[in-house]
C-alpha cells in the first residue's frame, strides 16, 4: 500500500486501522451507524488518528463532485452467505463514484458454493408446534 495516495474504506472497522498500519497515507472511513462516533478513540489508541478521517453518513450521501478519486476501496460488504447484510450496492456506488479508473477494489471477487442436502430432523421439528399440527 505504500505506493498509493488514498484509500477509502467503506463501512468502518478494523480494516481502516490495518490500511493505516500498512502505509496508506489517507483513509476515509465511511460509516452510517453510531459506531462513527466511537471510532475516534480507537483510532487514537492505535496511533492512526492522523491518517483516518471518519465520515459519519451513508456513502450514498457523499456528493461525488466534492471528493477526490481514491486508489483503493477496501470493504467488508459481505455478511454470512455473501449477500445477507446487503451492503454490496453501497460498495458498488463507492466504486462507480469514488474509485479512480485504474483503482483497486478489495475484495473484487466472491464465490458462493452450495450443496443441496436434506436434514429431516431440522424440518420435522415443525410438524408439531406446541401441540398444533403444522403438517
Please identify every residue annotated as catalytic: 76, 85
Cβ atoms of 112 and 81 within 8 Å: the answer is yes
**Which residue, chain included where needed, has cell 462507480?**
96
Residues in a beta bridge with 57: none
Amino acid at each position: 500500500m505504500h505506493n498509493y495516495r488514498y484509500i477509502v474504506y467503506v463501512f468502518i472497522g478494523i480494516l481502516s486501522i490495518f490500511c493505516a498500519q500498512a502505509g496508506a497515507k489517507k483513509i476515509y472511513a465511511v460509516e452510517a451507524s453510531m459506531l462513527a462516533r466511537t471510532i475516534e478513540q480507537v483510532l487514537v489508541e492505535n496511533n492512526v488518528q492522523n491518517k483516518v478521517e471518519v465520515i459519519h453518513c451513508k456513502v450514498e450521501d457523499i456528493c461525488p463532485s466534492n471528493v477526490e478519486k481514491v486508489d483503493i476501496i477496501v470493504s467488508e460488504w459481505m455478511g454470512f452467505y455473501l449477500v445477507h447484510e446487503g451492503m454490496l450496492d453501497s460498495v458498488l456506488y463507492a466504486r462507480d463514484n469514488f474509485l479512480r479508473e485504474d483503482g483497486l477494489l478489495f475484495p473484487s471477487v466472491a464465490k458462493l458454493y452450495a450443496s443441496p442436502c436434506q436434514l429431516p430432523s431440522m424440518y420435522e421439528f415443525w410438524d408439531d408446534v406446541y401441540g398444533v399440527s403444522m403438517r
